[in-house]
Structure 1
Amino acid sequence: MATYKPPYTITSKIVKLTSEISELISDIKHIDKQYSTLKLRKKNRIRSITGTLQIEGNSFDEAKVTSVINGKTVLGTTREIEEVKGAVLAYDYFNKYDYKSEKDLLHAHKLLMGNLLNNAGVYRQSNVGVGGADGVTHVAPPSNMVPQLMGEIFEWLNSTDEHLLIASCVFHYEFEFIHPFNDGNGRIGRLWQNVILKSFKDLFEHIPIESMIRANQTKYYEALEDAGSAGESTPFIEFMLGIILKSLQEYIKESAKSDQKSKQKSDQKILALMKQNSQITIAEICSKLSMSESGVKKVIKKLKDEDKIKRVGSLKAGHWEVV
């Protein structure tokens, strides 16, 4: 049993948001699996990296981040390029992190900041203040307390029965409050919340929450400050659950769009094959387009219903006619 319990209050807003998120997760089970594991994974990983870096002042957009990932030369400062490379390394390791492991978090920081800090992967040895537009907004705990505070929050994370949606928000706030590293705290805090969420539901590996935080950056910092003023993470939990909900809603919207485009492409490809060879078989279409038999038959039925094709003669001896 953990001796430290982070201060927060479960409000009706937190209960409502947790319930709405859980309902959306059930809806997402019906999204096209091929899209969510291939196209969306790559696109959203780039959005996650771009979002989390832009929050910290990196000017690179998704196109530039993609270029760095692909090994292309891009215009930018050495620091910006190294920030992208470090973030790519840290996120590439995503599925190997154990969210309960303090050692893994230190390893993530080493990957993220290895080319930018001499002491990457090691807690800070000096005292720091977190700055804002009006100067220092938060004086972090003294450096000699950092190992103990991080040990306590990980001990709590390992033993808590709290819903992981809520626990991920609590950890994120507590981590930023402790500010355990000389640099890279925001990036690691956001990454680790996603690592916790992924242990709750695998689909969070593909949800670019960092991108949504970037779109609401001012409110993100306000929520951190409000929690600091309140002396508990409640305002930040409410804010972050709202961000998670918006991120899931955006994911569903993007998935629906891509699924529609994918179906349109399948229609066009099958029509083109039938024009080239009116006697083409379903098995041959499956082979040429790397589609399942049920998928091809579904598209053919749709094309028939839309009067775009018709079958003349038997399945064995007949042929397709494109109307």
Structure 2
Amino acid sequence: MVDALPIAPLTRTEHVWLAETDGMSTRAQVAAGSGPYLSSVPATIADYRPSVPADLAADVEEAATALAGLDSYAAATLGLDDAVLGPMSSILLRTESTSSSQIESLTVGARQLALAELEQSTSTNATVVVGNVRAMEAALDLADRLDERAVLTMQGVLLSAQPGWDAHAGRYREGLVWVGTSGISPRGAAYVAPQAALVPAAMADLVQFIARDDLPVLLQSAVAHAQFETIHPFADGNGRTGRALVHAILRAKRVMTRTTAPVSAGLLTDTEAYVGALTAYRAGDARPIVEQFTRASRYAAATGRRLVDDLAAQVDAAREALGALRPQAAAWRVLPQLVAQPVVTSRFLGERLGMNAVTAQRALQQLADAGILVERSGRQRDRVWVHEGVLDVLDAYAASIRRH
């Protein structure tokens, strides 16, 4: 029997719900949806003083060390200041964003995501996941000032990529939200969030907790995430914003300073345990959610190293294939972009590298002649070039998470 990590449980208040038809529910369903229900009241955590069991404290320290090790390893392997390898680090952020989105059943392959970055994807999911990438980037950019405005900005960036959600972007919700199968009533829902009027005070309390520097960082990140999901401050995007917040905390507290660990990939391997841990947190035991994050962090550190190695191998192979090309050739400037963006166009090279059309076409042809890029659009104009090796590595990583 393991020792719990006690935390004040949420309480509940009773309200009455009057269900309205959505045009698809039956009259009986509308009638059943009307009546009393309980909504959550989150406990305050700004002054939370955890009594951490010794075994859990050791687990937290080990997992944080593993994340820091990945950060150092990725920086050394990718060479963040290296003109060729530096841009590769952004692919770790994209991998984390993709995994975080998949927890919300937003699945997209590496090719479609890369096409969405070029605004050429026909996949709605891909466009939405790009929004999550941008939210993660915003989270890291705002890590030095993690206040309420920063959290609102993260969610605003995220929802700006979701058609029809503009009115809810970057602002706290004004209505009730719940997790359940009914779209017209919170009655019988698995979780009913706090009333909207409670959100601002609860978020102010959470921000005070995040600002503290007297807690183990990974424990602080896990508790902050669970509290955020308990508050559920937004009309949509709570899960993805809450996981982006974790990375902002890891950056702010200097655990991960240069790269992004695929922690959500670790959570994705057992989403049932992740959801169960959030339920346990709300009932007064923070240990399960901390354990989920330590497990996910170790998974991220171990598999992240392999991902870095596999991507570095693709760059090494490409450099060898270009070996006979003169050092001033335009292809060398394009090479570092291909890991972060394995699907490219001449327009992309113009915007990213400032190449004119002739130079961009020459670079693409040089890379194609070396067997690094393949033209996949079949068009005469606006042609699309693909690095199949990088896409295969990213898709293999995603498949390994599903197998796990």
Contact preservation (8 Å) 1:128, 1:139: yes
Aligned with 2:154 (options 108, 125, 132) = 108
Identity level (%) = 20
| Counterpart in the other structure of 2:303 | 250
Q: In the alignment, is residue 19 of structure 1 matched against residue 61 of structure 2? A: yes
Regions of 4+ moved over 6 Å = 284-290
| Counterpart in the other structure of 2:209 | 156
Distance between the aligned counterparts of 1:132 and 1:243, measured in 2? 28
Q: Equivalent residue of 2:211, what SS?
A: helix
After superposition, the C-alpha distances for 1:275-315 in whole angstroms (9 at most, x for unaligned) are x9xxxxxxx9899998xxxxxxxxxxxxxxxxxxxxxxxxx
After superposition, the C-alpha distances for 1:80-114 in whole angstroms (9 at most, x for unaligned) are 35523422332332432135211111111111113
Distance between the aligned counterparts of 2:197 and 2:227, measured in 1? 17
Inter-CA distance 50–151: structure 2 relative to 1 (3 Å threshold): same
Q: In the alignment, is residue 73 of structure 1 matched against residue 118 of structure 2? A: no
Inter-CA distance 61–263: structure 2 relative to 1 (3 Å threshold): closer
Distance between the aligned counterparts of 2:77 and 2:51, measured in 1? 40
What is the letter of the counterpart of residue 151 of structure 2? Answer: L
Contact preservation (8 Å) 1:140, 1:177: yes
Contact preservation (8 Å) 1:194, 1:205: no
Inter-CA distance 100–193: structure 2 relative to 1 (3 Å threshold): same
Aligned with 1:96 (options 141, 144, 153) = 141
Counterparts of 1:1-323 in structure 2, within 5 Å, are 4-6=46-48, 8-25=50-67, 27-28=69-70, 29-31=72-74, 33=76, 35=78, 37=80, 38=86, 40-74=88-122, 76-77=123-124, 80-98=125-143, 100-114=146-160, 115=162, 116-131=165-180, 136-199=189-252, 200-203=254-257, 205-229=259-283, 231-259=284-312, 268=320, 273=324
Distance between the aligned counterparts of 1:125 and 1:235, measured in 2? 31
Q: Which moved more, 1:156-165 or 1:182-191?
A: 156-165
Q: Could you list the runs of 5+ residues in structure 2 that have no partner in the other structure?
A: 1-43, 81-85, 333-404
Inter-CA distance 285–34: structure 2 relative to 1 (3 Å threshold): farther
Contact preservation (8 Å) 1:49, 1:88: yes
Contact preservation (8 Å) 1:8, 1:233: no
Q: TM-score, normalised by structure 1?
A: 0.72
After superposition, the C-alpha distances for 1:50-69 in whole angstroms (9 at most, x for unaligned) are 21222212232232222101
What is the letter of the counterpart of residue 136 of structure 1? Answer: A
CA drift at 1:5: 2.8
Contact preservation (8 Å) 1:13, 1:238: no
What is the letter of the counterpart of residue 236 of structure 1? Answer: I
Distance between the aligned counterparts of 2:45 and 2:281, measured in 1? 22
Distance between the aligned counterparts of 1:185 and 1:263, measured in 2? 39
Q: Could you list the runs of 5+ residues in structure 1 that have no partner in the other structure?
A: 277-283, 291-323
CA drift at 1:172: 0.2
After superposition, the C-alpha distances for 1:21-73 in whole angstroms (9 at most, x for unaligned) are 34435644355635264364232222222212222122322322221012213
Contact preservation (8 Å) 1:168, 1:197: yes
CA drift at 1:260: 5.2
Distance between the aligned counterparts of 2:56 and 2:220, measured in 1? 12
Distance between the aligned counterparts of 2:298 and 2:317, measured in 1? 29
Q: Equivalent residue of 1:180, what SS?
A: coil
Q: Which moved more, 1:189-198 or 1:18-27?
A: 18-27
Contact preservation (8 Å) 1:176, 1:189: yes
CA drift at 1:258: 4.1
Distance between the aligned counterparts of 1:226 and 1:118, measured in 2? 33
Contact preservation (8 Å) 1:127, 1:141: yes
Inter-CA distance 82–117: structure 2 relative to 1 (3 Å threshold): farther
Inter-CA distance 289–3: structure 2 relative to 1 (3 Å threshold): closer
Distance between the aligned counterparts of 1:132 and 1:7, measured in 2? 36
Inter-CA distance 32–97: structure 2 relative to 1 (3 Å threshold): closer
Distance between the aligned counterparts of 1:84 and 1:34, measured in 2? 27
CA drift at 1:6: 4.1
Distance between the aligned counterparts of 1:194 and 1:206, measured in 2? 7
Q: Equivalent residue of 2:191, what SS?
A: strand
Larger-Rg structure: 1
